[in-house]
Amino acid sequence: MAMMRAVTFSDGAIKFRDDYPRPEPTSDEVLVRVTRAGICDTDLQIVAGYMSYRGVLGHEFVGVAEGGSLAGQRVVGEINCSCGQCDLCLGGLANHCPNRTVLGILGRDGAFADYLTLPERNLHAVPDELSDDEAVFVEPLAAAFQITRQVRLSERTRVLVLGDGKLGYLVAQVVKLQNAPVTVAGKYPEKLELLEHVGVGTVAVDELRRLPAFDVVVDATGSPSGIELALQVVRPRGTVVVKTTVAERTELKLADVVVNEITLVGSRCGPFPAAIEALKQRRIEVIPLIQDIYSLAHAEAAIAAAAKPGARKVLLAVDESVPAVKRVL
Amino acid sequence: MAMMRAVTFSDGAIKFRDDYPRPEPTSDEVLVRVTRAGICDTDLQIVAGYMSYRGVLGHEFVGVAEGGSLAGQRVVGEINCSCGQCDLCLGGLANHCPNRTVLGILGRDGAFADYLTLPERNLHAVPDELSDDEAVFVEPLAAAFQITRQVRLSERTRVLVLGDGKLGYLVAQVVKLQNAPVTVAGKYPEKLELLEHVGVGTVAVDELRRLPAFDVVVDATGSPSGIELALQVVRPRGTVVVKTTVAERTELKLADVVVNEITLVGSRCGPFPAAIEALKQRRIEVIPLIQDIYSLAHAEAAIAAAAKPGARKVLLAVDESVPAVKRVL
C-alpha cells in the first residue's frame, strides 16, 4: 500500500505522520496531490473537540488533479460530499445532505496531507492568473459569498461585520462588492488597518455603540459572545448573519430577537465559481491576510501559530516548495 | 380627581385597587371604558419580572371609546404607542419606535382597569358580528397573523407549530388559512383535541422526531427550551419563527443554526385589520380557548389560574356583567 505524509487528529492529539495510507479514489472520485492548504478557525475548533472529528485535518486547499477530466490541472474543491440521491440532494440542497461527508470535518480525511480524494463534481479548475497562495482562499471566500445568496444587499444596506479576523476581512470585501456601505468592528489596530487598505471603513469594537444601528450585522467573530453584541447593534427588523461556528453552547437573550423582530441567518459554505471569478478579476485581496507559511511537517506549530489571538492566515506548503518555516510578513 | 378600579403590579406584587386615578387622555388620545380583558403569557412573564414593569397590567382588551371619531363604538387597540417622528416611525417601523410606550408592558398603564387611554390612531372599531369575548382575541390573533407578513407560506410549506397553548391554537389556524399544511405538537391531549376540532393535525411532542423535518417551525411554547427543540425538527435551510418571549436567557447550540443554515425570525405584534376580518368572516375559532371569566376584583386569582400548566385563556369581565367567577367550560 502506498504511503504518504499526513497530519491527523485523534484522541485529542495532533500528529504528523509519514506512514499514512494514501487514499484510493472510488469510481466517481479523483485523487488530488495537495500543494497548499490553509488553517481555518474551524480546524482550531475541531482540535478543541468540535464535531468529535478523527482523521486527517484540513479542508482549505489547492492541488493538482491526478485523474478525471481535470487531470494535470490545478484544482480547488468543495468540501461537502453528498449522496446525490436523498430528498435534500434532489431538492438542490446537496450541501445539507444528511449522508454527507465533509473534507477534514466529518467522516472524510482532509487536506493536510500529500493526497486527498474528492468526488470529481466537487472540483473546480484554478485559472492560471491565480497563484497557489491565492487559490487556497477560494473555499473561505466562497463562504463569504454565501451571504450574498441569503441576504439582499444594496447601496442602501448599512452592513456591519463583527470581527477583524480572516473571515471578517473576506466578508467585508464581498459586501463592498455588492455596493453596500460596510464597516468592520474589531480590536486589532493592525488588522483594521489592513481593511482600510482595501477601502473598508473600520471602528474599534469599543466605539461601536456610538454608531447608529445597522441593517445587517455579520457575526464573524468566531467567539460565542459575538451574537450577543450583534443583537445589540442591529436595528429592529434587521438581520444578523451568523458565520461563527463554536463548539460551545451560546447563551442568548432570545426576547430581544422577538421584541425587535430580528432575523438570524445561519450561513456556511458558498459558491466556488463566484469566489474564483472575483479573485481572477482582482476584485478581492487575499495575500495581505497571509501571516506565515509552514511546511507540512511543522503543521502542529502552524496550528499553534494560527490559534494565537490576532493571528492572520497560516498556510501549509504541502509540496515542500518552501523551507521548513517561511515567514512571509 | 376621578378614581377607578385597577389591577397593578409593583414591587413584585399584584394588587387590586379601587382608588386608582382614572387616566386623562392627551389631545391625541382617547379614553376607553374597558369591558373585557385577556390574560396573556406576557402578563405572566411580567409578573415574573420581565421588562421590570410597574403599573396597571394587561394589554388584550375590548372596550367602548369615550371620545374621538369612534366615540360610543366598541373598540380594540394596538398596544405600541410610538412617537411618530423618529427614523423608525418615519420608516414604517412604528411598532419598533425607540421612544414607544406599550400598553401594560412598557411605561403605560394597561387594560386591567375600568379605563385606559390610547392614541386614537391605535384604535380599531369592532364589527357588530363579534361578541366582546371574541373581540378580546384580536390582539393575540394579530400577533399570529404577523407570521404571514414575515414568512412566505404556501400549500407546499410544511409547518409545525410547537406548543398547544393559546398562541399555538391561533397560529395554527392562521397558517391553515394560508393553505399551508400545519401540524401542532403539544403535550395536553385535551388541547390537541381542540385543535383537531378546527381541522389542524396534531402530534404528541414525544412523537415529533418520528416525523420528517419541517420547512417552517413556529415556537409558540412559551418555554426557553422551545427553540432548541425547534432547531432539531426544522429542515436544513428551514425557518424557525420565534414567538416566545421569556425573561430568562436561553442556551442555544448556535453551531446548529450555522451548519444547517437555519433562519430564525423573531415575531411580535401584528396587523389588527387582518385579525378583525378573519374573526368577522368566522374563519378563526376563538371561543373554545376560553377557560374562565373572572371579575376584575378577582384578577389575582384569575392570573393564578392562567399561570397553571395547561391553562387555556382566562378573561377578566371588567364591566361587571358577569358574577365574581363564572366558569365557562
The pLDDT tens digits for B185-236 are 999 999 999 999 999 999 999 999 899 999 999 999 988 889 999 999 999 9
Q: What is the pLDDT of residue A325?
A: 59
DSSP secondary structure letters along A143-159: HHHHHHHHS---TT--E
Using a CB–CB cutoff of 8 Å, tell me whether A259 touches chain B: yes
Q: How many C-beta atoms surround the C-beta of residue B182 within 10 A?
A: 27
3-class secondary-structure state, position B2? coil
B248: confidence class by pLDDT, cuts 50, 70, 90: confident
User: What do you get for the CA distance between the two ends of chain A, in Å?
Assistant: 40
Using alpha carbons, list the distances in angstroms from residue A231 to A181, A255, A268, B258. 19, 11, 20, 16
Answer whether A242 sits within 8 Å of B224, measured CB to CB: no
Q: Give the pLDDT score at A321.
A: 64
Residues 6+ apart with CB under 8 A from A306: A39, A43, A44, A313, A314
Q: What is the mean pLDDT of residues A101-115?
A: 97
φ/ψ (deg, to 5) at B261: 50, 50
Mean pLDDT, residues B1-29 taken together: 95
Report yes or no: B29 and B75 within 8 Å, Cβ to Cβ: no
B19 to chain A, any CB pair closer than 8 A? The answer is no
A27 φ/ψ angles, rounded to the nearest 5 degrees: -65, -30
Please check the confidence at residue A51 and state whether its pLDDT lies above 80.
Answer: no
> Is A266 close to B259, i.e. CB distance below 8 A?
yes
Stated pTM of the model = 0.92
Cβ-Cβ contacts under 8 Å, B259 against chain A: 245, 266, 268
Q: Which of A207, A229, A279, A260 is nearest to A62 (CA)?
A: A279
* B131: Cβ contacts below 8 Å, ≥ 6 apart: none
Please determine, for residue B247, whether its predicted confidence score (pLDDT) is greater than 80: no
ipTM of the complex as predicted? 0.90
Residue B53 reports pLDDT greater than 70: yes
| pLDDT of amino acid B249 | 80
Residue in the block written with cell 412573564:
B45
Taking only the tens place, the pLDDT of each residue in A250-288 is 888 888 899 999 999 999 999 999 999 999 999 999 999
What lies within 8 Å, CB to CB, of A328 at 6+ separation is: A290, A291, A292, A293
Task: Give the mean pLDDT of A115-133.
Answer: 97
Inter-chain touch A236–B96, beta carbons under 8 Å: yes
Q: How far is CA A21 from CA A35, A104, A280, A287, A317, in A?
A: 18, 15, 35, 33, 20
Identify the pLDDT of residue A49.
82
Percentage of chain B exceeding pLDDT 70: 97
Nearest to B246 among A224, A255, A261 (CB): A255
Q: Would strands B74-77 and B80-81 be described as parallel, antiparallel, or unpaired?
A: unpaired
Lowest mean pLDDT of A245-249, B31-35, B248-252, name the range: A245-249
3-class state of residue B69 by DSSP: coil
pLDDT value at residue A324 = 53
Burial readout A265-281 (b: 16 or more C-beta within 10 A, e: otherwise): bbbbbbbbebbbebbbe
Say how many C-beta atoms besides its own lie within 10 A of residue B1's C-beta: 6
A323 vs A319 pLDDT, higher one: A319
**A contacts of B244 (beta carbons < 8 Å):** 254, 258
Given an 8 Å threshold on Cβ–Cβ distance, is B264 in contact with A259?
no
Percent of chain A past pLDDT 70, that is, above it, reads: 97
Q: How confident is the model at residue A1 (pLDDT cuts 50, 70, 90)?
A: confident
Asked if the model's pLDDT at residue A329 lies above 80, the reply is: no
Q: What is the pLDDT of residue B274?
A: 98
Nearest chain A residue (CA) to B146: A261
Pick from A178-187, B129-138, B235-244, B245-254: least confident: B245-254
pLDDT at residue A299 is higher than 90: yes
Q: Is the pLDDT of residue B122 over 50?
A: yes
Residue B168 pLDDT greater than 90, yes or no:
yes
Supply A123's cell numbers: 472540483
Inform me whether the pLDDT recorded for B328 exceeds 60: no
The answer, yes or no, to whether residue B327 has pLDDT greater than 70, is: no
- Which of A252, A259, A268 is facing B259, going by the closest CB pair? A268
